[in-house]
Amino acid sequence: MDSEDSELYSNEDEDEDGCAGMFDDYSDDGGCQASDGSDIGDASDFKREKRKDTYEKEGPLADLGKALSIVQGNRGEFSFGGKADFLPPAPGLEIEGIGRVVLPLIDEQVAERIIDVCEQAPFGRGRETLVDTSVRNSWQLDPSKIKLTNPDWATGIQRAIPIIAKKLGVEGTPLTLHPYKFLLYKKGGHFTKHRDTEKEDRMFATMVIQLPSVHQGGQLQVFKDGSEDPVIHDFGAAAGTAEYRCNYAVHYADAEHAVTPITDGYRLALIYSICWPVRSSHPAPTTADELYPALLKPLAELANADRAFHYYLKHEYTYHSMSDIAFGSLKGEDRARVQSLRTANEYLPPDQRYNFYLLQGKRHASYFSEDYTTWNVKEWALVEEPKYKYGPLLDLEGKQLRKSYPTLADADVLNPDHQSRYQRWSGHRTKTYEGSLGNEGAHQGLDISQVSASRLASKVDG
C-alpha cells in the first residue's frame, strides 16, 4: 500500500497475505514458557508483567547483545526525500475524462472536475474498508486513468531506483517501482497516523511523488519506533520549490506516518510501491571487521553451551513476504544485524555453527480500567494472561520446516536494545475499545493484538 492509502493499524490479521490457517489457535502457553515452566505472560497487571521480564543482563548472551547494539552495517535511512532531480519538472499530466491538466493546479473548476472522476479515498481497519473523512480526507484515482506524457518521466523513474536502493542500504539491488494511486488533497484534506500494509507481492516501502503544487500544509510525518518526533517531508514548501518541480519522500511501509491538514490550495501526489525483485541477489550489508571478534567470542560461548536464542525484529513483515523472499525481505537495522550474526557464525567451526530461522508470532492481551480518560496501558490492569500464537518455522530461504516452534523463553532473548517484554511486542499493535461493562461504572476494555515483526530464532546444529 502507499504512504497515504493504507490500512489503519491493520496488523491483527494476515489472511489476505496468505497466512490464514497458518497460525495455531491462541493458547495460554503458545509454546512460550520461561525456563522455570511458568508462562511468560502470567502477570496480573502491567507492572508485574514488567517485573517478571528475565532476559539475560550478564553472560555471553548479554555480551552478544552489547556487540550487536553497535552494529551499524549498511542499515540505510529510515525515511528520506527532497527534490526529485531524477524527474522532469513538467510531467505532462493527463487524466482520463479530463484531458491535459496544467500544473500546478490552481483552477477550482478544474480541481472539482478531477474530484468528480475520483473516489473518496478509503482506509482499512481490520478486515473492513471504511470511508471516514475525520480519519482520511482525500480523493484517489487508479493509475490506469493517469498518463504522464513527458517521455522523460519513465526514464526518470528508472533513474530513481539506484538512488532509493542506496539510501535504503541495498545498493545494487534491482528494485521495482509500481504506480499505485493518484491522490488529490484540497483544503481540509488530511490522513491521521497509520501504517501501510503489503498489499502487493514483495512490496516493502513506499515512494510519494508530489507533483508541482501550490498549497499550505500537507506535510508527510514519518514516525520511528513509536517516537513522537517525526521525520517531516514538506515537499519543497520551505525552499519555495513545491510549485516548480516534483518532490519525493520514501519510507518503509510499516512505519507510522500521517499527512497534516491542507489549509489552502491543492496537493497532487503519485504513490509508488517499492518492491523487491523476484530473485534478489543484492549484496549483504557489511559490518566493520573489527566488530566481528566482539560478536564471535560470545557466539562461540553460546555454541559451546549448546544454547539457542531468539531475537525480535523491529520491522513488521507479512507471512507472505517471509515465505516468498525470506531474508531478502528484511529491512534496515533488521537486515544489518541478522547478516552480522550470519557472518560471525561462519567463523565458528562447522560442528558448532547455528542454523537461523524465521518465526512470526502474535500476542493478544486484554486490559481494563475504571478511568476512561486515559489510553496509557501502564494505567490499565491486565484482565487475563496474554495469549500467543505462531506461524510455521521458516528457514532464511523461506522454506517451511515444520508447524511446531521452539521454546521462546525470556532468558534466551538476544536483547541488544534492553527492551522489556512489553516493548518487544509493542511495535505493531491495534487497540479496540469495548466500552462500559455492565453496571460497574466507567470501565473500559482494551484489546491489544501485537505482531512481533517476525522472530529470528536460532538453534545449534545437531
Provide the total of helices (H) and of strands (E) in the chain, helices listed first.
Answer: 8, 26
Neighbours of 133 (CB within 10 A): 12
Q: Is the pLDDT of residue 28 over 70?
A: no
Q: According to the model, what pLDDT value does residue 291 have?
A: 64
Higher pLDDT, 70 or 16: 70
Give the rounded percent of residues in the chain with a pLDDT score beyond 70: 69
Higher pLDDT, 416 or 409: 416
Class of the CATH-defined domain 79-275: mainly beta
- Confidence category of residue 104, pLDDT binned at 50, 70, 90: very high
Higher pLDDT, 399 or 414: 414
Higher pLDDT, 388 or 100: 100
Question: Can you give the pTM of this predicted structure?
Answer: 0.63
Highest mean predicted confidence (pLDDT) among 10-24, 215-229, 376-390: 215-229
Q: According to the model, what pLDDT value does residue 378 have?
A: 54
Q: What pLDDT, in 10s, does the model give residues 72-94?
A: 555 578 899 999 999 999 999 99
Q: What pLDDT, in 10s, does the model give residues 356-388?
A: 888 887 777 776 665 555 555 555 666 777 777
Residue 29 Cα distances to 364, 401, 422, 427, 459, angstroms = 12, 21, 16, 21, 21
Contact 371, 442 (CB under 8 A): yes
- Contacts of 20-23 with CB under 8 Å at 24 or more apart are 22/319, 22/391, 22/392, 23/360, 23/362, 23/389, 23/390, 23/391
Give the rounded percent of residues in the chain with a pLDDT score beyond 90: 37
- Confidence category of residue 199, pLDDT binned at 50, 70, 90: low
CA 229/CA 240 separation, integer angstroms: 24
* Grid cell at residue 52: 517478571
- Confidence category of residue 403, pLDDT binned at 50, 70, 90: low
Instruction: Tell me which DSSP letter residue 244 carries.
Output: T
Q: What pLDDT, in 10s, does the model give residues 29-76?
A: 333 332 233 333 333 344 444 445 677 888 999 999 998 887 655 557
Chain centroid, CA 349 distance in Å: 36
What is the mean predicted confidence (pLDDT) over 280-304? 68
- Confidence category of residue 10, pLDDT binned at 50, 70, 90: very low
Q: According to the model, what pLDDT value does residue 279 have?
A: 62
**Which of 100-114, 293-307, 422-436 is predicted least confidently?**
422-436
Contact 362, 452 (CB under 8 A): yes
**Short-list 176, 182, 144, CA closest to 160:** 176
Q: Is the pLDDT of residue 17 over 70?
A: no
Higher pLDDT, 421 or 459: 421
Q: According to the model, what pLDDT value does residue 74 have?
A: 54
Highest mean predicted confidence (pLDDT) among 3-12, 30-39, 396-405, 429-438: 396-405
State the DSSP H helix or E strand holding residue 275, giving kind and residue range, or none if neither: strand 262-275
Torsion angle in degrees (nearest 10) through CA of 188, 138, 150, 173: 120
**Short-list 438, 316, 457, CA closest to 393:** 457
What is the mean predicted confidence (pLDDT) over 138-143? 97
Query: Is residue 366 left, alpha or beta, with left meaning phi > 0 and alpha meaning psi from -120 to 50?
Result: beta
What is the mean predicted confidence (pLDDT) over 313-317? 79
Higher pLDDT, 173 or 71: 173
CA 13/CA 20 separation, integer angstroms: 8
Burial of 97 per CB tally in 10 Å (0-12, 13-18, 19+): exposed
Q: Is the pLDDT of residue 165 over 70?
A: yes
Phi and psi angles of residue 33, each rounded to the nearest 5 degrees, phi first: -115, 150
- Confidence category of residue 7, pLDDT binned at 50, 70, 90: very low
Residue range(s) occupied by CATH 2.60.120 in the chain: 79-275
State the DSSP H helix or E strand holding residue 93, giving kind and residue range, or none if neither: strand 93-95
Q: Is the pLDDT of residue 329 over 80?
A: no
What is the mean predicted confidence (pLDDT) over 218-229? 86
Instruction: Tell me which DSSP letter residue 25 carries.
Output: P
Q: According to the model, what pLDDT value does residue 180 have?
A: 95
Q: According to the model, what pLDDT value does residue 173 have?
A: 83
- β-pairing verdict for 203-210 and 139-141: unpaired
Q: According to the model, what pLDDT value does residue 23 have?
A: 43
CA 36-38-42 angle, to 5 degrees, is 145
The side-by-side arrangement of strands in the sheet containing 146-148 is 99-100, 93-95, 146-148
CA 281/CA 260 separation, integer angstroms: 38
Burial of 137 per CB tally in 10 Å (0-12, 13-18, 19+): buried
